[in-house]
Amino acid sequence: MRGMEKVFKEIEKRIKRLEAEIELAEKRLELLEETGAAHKYQIWEKRKSYSEYYLIFIAIWMIMGLMLLLYIKNKYAQRIPLSLTPYIILAFVLIILPLIYVVWKFMYKEEIESPLEYLSKREKNARIVLNAFYLPLKEALENENEEKLRRIADNLLTSEGLARAIEEENEGDPKVMAYAIYLYLNRDKDVKDEIEETVKLLRNKPLKALLSFLLEKDRETL
């Protein structure tokens, strides 16, 4: 049918796009490994994570130094006229600033995604959407396997991993997509109004084409 050809065409577009995304991510990860950039970035990230420990160490070192000066002053106060005020002010500044920075960084810590993490996540998400949604959807529609379509819809609602991957890959709202499949499975019932409303909400083009195909068929029978 002409309408279903459009549906399969949209599914094929998505499959090819995801396959290309997986291949591109793999090549970039391989390039990072071959050039040593991945290893260098990991070392840099590790050094960055140690900066807080360095600051804490400086603060502890300053406190110990101040305690040593107090000990010297108390023991040799008669022999060595020593004013600790400048050292106390300096120690206070050098101690309090690193501590303020560490507390601020802890409270407002942002999870910055590294290039390696970004590429790995994109590759993983693309594989999940491809293998858990588009390939099974294509097969189910080709074979008119309604039980498999129902499992796909159920999976969209129950699998957090699939739902997250679909959202991050910008493939649509998993709940609306699941509802669209349920409407298709109940196409013989009086659900025309629900189909029309769902078509307006759908951002997933293959499922939008699938429900639009039902509306076209309905108009042709009038």
Mean pLDDT along residues 58-80: 67
Q: Look-up: residue for tokens 């577009």?
A: 13
The pLDDT of residue 181 is above 80? yes
Mean pLDDT along residues 28-40: 64
DSSP state of 110: -
* Total Cβ atoms within 10 A of residue 119: 19
Mean pLDDT along residues 130-156: 96
How far apart, in whole angstroms, are the C-alpha atoms of residue 70 and residue 158? 65
Higher confidence at residue 213 or residue 32? 213
The pLDDT of residue 169 is above 80? yes
Q: Write down the domain spans for the chain.
A: 2-29+117-221, 36-107
How far apart, in whole angstroms, are the C-alpha atoms of residue 152 and residue 158? 10
Q: Label residue 138 by pLDDT band (50, 70, 90).
A: very high
- Nearest CA among 208, 69, 207 for reference residue 140: 207
How far apart, in whole angstroms, are the C-alpha atoms of residue 105 and residue 96? 14
Which range has the worst mean pLDDT, 98-112, 127-141, 153-167?
A: 98-112
On the 0-12 / 13-18 / 19+ scale of CB atoms within 10 A, 152 is buried
Contact 206, 7 (CB under 8 A): yes
Q: Label residue 128 by pLDDT band (50, 70, 90).
A: very high
Which range has the worst mean pLDDT, 81-95, 140-154, 195-209?
A: 81-95
Residue 26's pLDDT is 85
How far apart, in whole angstroms, are the C-alpha atoms of residue 187 and residue 74? 92
Residue 99's pLDDT is 67
How far apart, in whole angstroms, are the C-alpha atoms of residue 143 and residue 139? 6
Contact 132, 159 (CB under 8 A): yes
Please report the DSSP string for 125-144 in residue order: HHHHHIIIIIHHHHHHHHTT
Residue 80's pLDDT is 55
Residue 31's pLDDT is 75
Question: Would residue 36 be called left, alpha or beta, if left means φ above 0 and alpha means ψ between -120 and 50 degrees?
Answer: left
Residue 175's pLDDT is 97
Enter the pTM of the model: 0.67
Our measurement of the distance from residue 49's CA atom to the centroid of its chain's CA atoms, rounded to an integer in Å, reads: 21
Residue 44's pLDDT is 46
For the chain, what is the mean pLDDT? 81
